[in-house]
Chains A and B, each alone.
Chain A
Amino acid sequence: MIDTVYIERDAIDDPVTRSILASIERTNSTPTNVIEIDRYSEVFNPRSQNFRLQKQKPSLILARKHQQHVLPTPPAYHIGGDFNYYFSHMLNCIYDCRYCFLQGMYQSANYVVFTNYSDFFDQIASTARQFDKPCWFFSGYDCDSLALEPITGFMQQCLDHFEILNAQNDNKARLEIRTKSTQIRSLLNRNPLDNVVVAYSLSPHSIVNKLEHKTPSLEKRIRALASLQEAGWSVGLRFDPVIAAGNDESLYRELFESVFSRLDCEKIHSVSLGTFRLPKSFHKAVKQLYPEEPLFSVPLEQFKFTDNGNSSTMVGYPRQVETRLMDFCSQEIKKYVDAKQLFVCSDDSLIPPSPNKNTSDQPINHSNHHAG
């Protein structure tokens, strides 16, 4: 599956590195090409790489993350908590969703996995300790939380960590695992944790087929949700991005019906909703990669967003289209769940800040929706 693995020299001796390499070797029929590098940015960041071509067969980069393991989410990105952070143990995703902002954000489609997992967990714990109210940590922002779990084993360790935090009465850390993956065996094999929500990104069946390439089908995701809920896990539903279509209302009505009819609606932790939008520069890059894709040629408008003095331009559906979609979906969803379970990401204030180009680590920028 992965033929070429680049490894930072500092990460070569990490147990996680050895474990990941062993997993890859087990699945590969031919020897894996292992290439030593100094810093992952040497392979990941250079310009003149073609994301679309690399997506044909991405390589894996194993690296150590040295700073900013945990970052605050965009201002109003939350599911009811006052303090919200995200973290990414991995950059890029094994799926190939055409609307994904990662295509426009990164030069490379290669996967980066940061092998110093414990540094993430330490920073999560220290961040949560700062607050006396629940503090949410969102996983799956720059990747899918579970899709590569059989190889990385990250989430298994992360859940161990949150289990320990859960046992500490004064700790308010909460985790959202955002995913489209049905790799849930590791979750079903353990007791559910009441400080963890497993949240699935969901789209109508035909939009999954057209735009969410290489992902598990809607039916499989619903089955996974039902299994998790049955096993006692708290689940969330993420209808984000909602895609405008000539027949969007019937598509989404059908989606909501098929999802909510299979779940215990009262036990759903949260439902979030947001329309398709991208930072202007990402939209330009993605449109160049996929000039034949209708998603980027439909009527879209630019609008300015200012956050903490930083101004950036976003591209999204015209206001009346966005309002219609959000109103329709909200009304439909409220037929199944209580209004206080629903979080709508449609206000301009939800748009995240522009890229922080000063950091020596990964670029920081996001659409309003997770990659996962």
Chain B
Amino acid sequence: MQDATTLLFVTALQAEAQPLIQHYSLKHTSGRGFRLYGDGTIQLIITGIGKLNAAAATAHALSRLNKEAIVMNVGIAGSDQPTGSMFHAHSISDGNKVIYPSLPFVRKIPGIRVETVDQPSTAYQRNIAYDMEAAAVVATARRYVSAEFAHCLKIISDNPDNCLYDRDGSLNRSLINPNSINDLVERNIPGITEFSNTVQHLTTKLPSTISLNDDHEDLLNTLLDNTNTLRMESRPGTDRKPLHVTASQTQQLTALCARHSVLNREIPSKLPDEALANTRSLIVFLENHLSDAYPEYPQHTDDKITSKDAPPTSDV
């Protein structure tokens, strides 16, 4: 299982962020350039409107993290769908370029195609939502995280019956204002949290690479300490120096420690003399120590035992 993965919400507007800040009790954190909020493994950044802002803010937030993250763009969009309804972006286009978020889970929120545009749009084509940030957020996020962890949820703020603009061409302020946006997001908090939880659950399917790496680093440190102690003891009274380990050799030794761990083979605490001469000889010893480390698989004793078959593959 992955170590606590950060859930990063990315919104364009303060009004879109506010219900999330309140729901997760996020606190404003210091930082330059963008407004950032956080509490432990939940983070939120407010990007400002448009693709350039969205890309810069997403990169800024993800660069600050040194662990895995789930990126969730939440915001309003125009569409032919009912106002207040929320959709998951199954595809996100920016001109001719289309991104398809990966969906290895059951999604309860309906899907929609999102087109990220440079200016607010009232095209309201069938089953398309128009926004101004999603493509930039998701494309940037996919430089940092895998496609399964970069998603976009859009809440419909305007449609042909509730148009973004008044007849005189001015913005319909009774429809689009901080309070109404706040209200749209707030009403969808249950859906947002449920979707986020579903994506977060995916991380349980991954090995804990961070703790694995820590374990292997611990093993390596123990190995080197032990080797250096044994080197000193093997020639008492001399000023035998600790092993010189290059960066490449560190990698090799870490990999060998990892293999010992995976194959359940303990590194002997009493290393033979030939392993102590230098780092190369230690590496050779550890490689040889694994030369017969093929795991045993239990012998089959009962013909009736069968592995579970994947439905619907079996008809015999």
Q: Chain A interface (Cβ within 8 Å of chain B)? A: 1, 3-4, 6, 27, 30, 33, 35, 37-38, 42-43, 46, 48-50, 52-59, 94-95, 108-109, 147, 150, 181-185, 204-210, 212, 214-220, 223-224, 227, 243-248, 250-251, 254, 258, 290-294, 297-299, 321
Contacts and interface: CB of A to CB of B under 8 A. Distances in A.
* Majority secondary structure, B binding face: loop
18 contacts: A33-B90, A33-B103, A33-B107, A37-B100, A38-B98, A54-B102, A57-B105, A183-B315, A212-B307, A217-B309, A248-B294, A251-B299, A291-B262, A292-B212, A293-B262, A297-B259, A297-B263, A299-B292
A219 B306 contact: yes
B33 interface: no
A355 to B, nearest CB: 21
B142 interface: yes
Given A216-B314, A290-B207, A298-B293, A48 B111 contact: no
A291 B291 CA distance: 19
A254 B299 contact: yes
A353 B209 CA distance: 32
Contacts of B111: 33, 35
B40 interface: no
Contact of A246 (B142, B295, B315): B295
Contacts of B297: 204, 206-207, 210, 243, 245, 247, 251
B312 to A, nearest CB: 6
Nearest to A4: B103
Interface in B41-95: 90-91
B148 A297 contact: no
B310 A94 contact: yes
* Most chain A CB atoms below 10 A, which of B102, B148, B259, B310: B102
Interface string B260-276: 00110000000000000
Contacts of A6: 100
A299 B286 CA distance: 11
Given A245-B295, A247-B299, A297-B263, A49 B148 contact: yes
Contact of A294 (B202, B262, B287): B262
Contact of B312 (A27, A49, A184, A251): A27
Contact of B105 (A49, A56, A243): A56
A199 to B, nearest CB: 16
Given A52-B205, A150-B312, A299 B104 contact: no
Contacts of B315: 182-185
Contacts of B294: 244-246, 248, 298-299, 321
B148 A53 contact: yes
A321 B259 CA distance: 18
A206 B311 contact: no
A217 B306 contact: yes
B163 interface: no
A220 B306 contact: yes
Contacts of B207: 290-292
A300 B297 CA distance: 18
A292 B316 CA distance: 34
Contact of A216 (B259, B292, B309): B309
Contacts of A147: 310, 313
